[in-house]
Amino acid sequence: MIAIVQDSIDVAAVLRSVSSNSAGATVLFLGTVRDHGDEGAVLGLYYEAYQEMAEEVLRSIAQQAIGRWNLLGLSVVHRLGNLAVGEVSVAIAASAEHRVEAFEACRYVIDAIKKSVPVWKKEISAAGSMWVEGVLLEDNPDGYV
């Protein structure tokens, strides 16, 4: 399951989507909205994406991870729009025969998302809102991290 969605992420469905009887480990990573940033208290985040490109890059990252760690299942879901503190912005689930592969794959995918997927977020605070100073997008299909 590779998706960019507007509504709440169904974390249970993401986990189910990677289930395999051959798996000895399933790792779930959740990115969540925290209540503070560099400038102080945060009320929520707003996400937007270049959706067509973001989906293509997500699929490419997933293919790399599946091949590199011999995964049995991998799902990545990123949410857009307005999120409140505590809500899930991104869910990554990886299943593999052994835990090391599943852990490493999840780490790879979230690091790759932060560098290579065209998504932008804005912090909403009592004082106003501000685009988060991110990184220059890296396009590296031979290895995202």
Interacting residues toward another protein by CB under 8 A: 31, 47-50, 52-54, 56, 78, 89-90, 110, 113-122, 131-139
Q: Which is nearer to another protein, 22 or 136 (CB)?
A: 136
- Least CB distance from residue 131 to another protein, whole Å? 5
- Least CB distance from residue 121 to another protein, whole Å? 5
Q: Which is nearer to another protein, 53 or 66 (CB)?
A: 53
- Least CB distance from residue 132 to another protein, whole Å? 4
- Least CB distance from residue 92 to another protein, whole Å? 10
Tokens of 31: 């990115």
Q: Which is nearer to another protein, 30 or 66 (CB)?
A: 30
3-state secondary structure at position 144 = coil
Q: Mind giving me the DSSP string for 51-82?
A: HHHHHHHHHHHHHHHHHHHT-SEEEEEEE-EE
Q: Which is nearer to another protein, 26 or 89 (CB)?
A: 89
Give the distance between the most distant pair of CA atoms in the chain.
51
Collect all residues with Cβ–Cβ distance below 8 Å to 12 and sequence separation of at least 6: none
d(CA 123, CA 25) in angstroms, rounded, equals 35
Supply the DSSP symbol for 111.
H
